Structure 1
């Protein structure tokens, strides 16, 4: 499922994600759904960055997943450490064609395909400050509500 865009003929497609990245995201979303996490893809953060997937646990814990579809995708990205300031746990997600040892040990690691995902490594916890948590929860809730409205309007 892609982000909802009111500026597209098809509001469920925005065109930024490669097919491979979307496959990984679907697998992670299915894994997280099994873990009873709520998710918002492509969430804009206060820093101006956009997280590939933000998940919210029943206990209020916030996870960010950075999806990497290839070795080149990982090597060309130098912004991922900035995501730590917006979450309790930071994960990378990729597919089986990307070597797992490429990813730093200080982040969790998920291997996914279009059907599901497997958590190879838990992400270490680094708890958010209360004010940052509140801001992220409000950002998450507003984005989820706005996208639901757009989906309902697009459905007629």
Structure 2
């Protein structure tokens, strides 16, 4: 896969030799579930701080795929953040906001075992307009379901193999998620700009 080296945004690791992972608890966001995501109305959402306690099984591959997939999404005009936690306890590896306001959740899989032991991915659909997997080039993509999107990525970039089917969020849910997305991004930026500030 031929990729170009682009600058990495603040939500991702630095280039080789300068990796600085985001602190686990920094800016974790959870949203209380809505009774019916397809109807407008108040969803009773709130922003809370939750621990991010899931360790990747193959961290080098996970970081590489996450970085390349996020670069690919930014090239397509998305804004991206990593490790956004929702009220159901699920954490999106990448959450991406499109120029039109759609929210995409990307689940990074480091290998076959990581995929097969993890059956939680359908739970993300209540928190996004579309869902997709991101995997390394050597991952056997044929074992993945066909009703989700697919990005193949390495440490330098990615390629969209299959467009993610859209299942639109209710406007109230999308608004709350978009606000949470912005607050999480702002909290992380403030932490980098002033790491000594009390939290």
TM-score of the two chains, using structure 2 as the length reference: 0.71
Q: Does 1:38 align with 2:79?
A: yes
User: How many equivalent residue pairs?
Assistant: 151
Following superposition, the deviation at residue 7 of structure 1 comes to: 7.2
Gaps spanning 5+ residues in structure 2: where? 1-11, 14-20, 27-52
CA distance in 2, matches of 1:34, 1:21: 20
Q: Please point out which of 46, 55, 67 is paired with 1:16.
A: 55
SS in 2 for 1:147: helix
- Deviation per CA, 1:73-118, whole angstroms, max 9, x where unpaired? 0001010000001001100000011101111011000000011101
**Structure 1 runs, 4 residues or longer, greater than 4 Å off:** none
Q: Secondary structure at 1:40's aligned position in 2?
A: strand
Write 1 or 2 for the structure with the bigger share of strand: 1
Aligned partners of 1:26 and 1:116 also within 8 Å: yes
Larger-Rg structure: 2
- Residue in 2 aligned with 1:27? 68
The structure 2 residue matched to 1:4, chosen from 11, 19, 22, is 22
Cross-structure match for 2:155: 114
Matched position secondary structure for 1:115: coil
Alpha carbon RMSD of aligned pairs, Å? 2.1
Deviation at 1:16, TM superposition (A): 3.4
Q: Which residue of structure 2 lines up, in the alignment, with residue 100 of structure 1?
A: 141
Determine if the alignment matches structure 1 residue 63 to structure 2 residue 104: yes
| Structure whose residues are more often helix by fraction | 1
TM-score by length of 1: 0.90
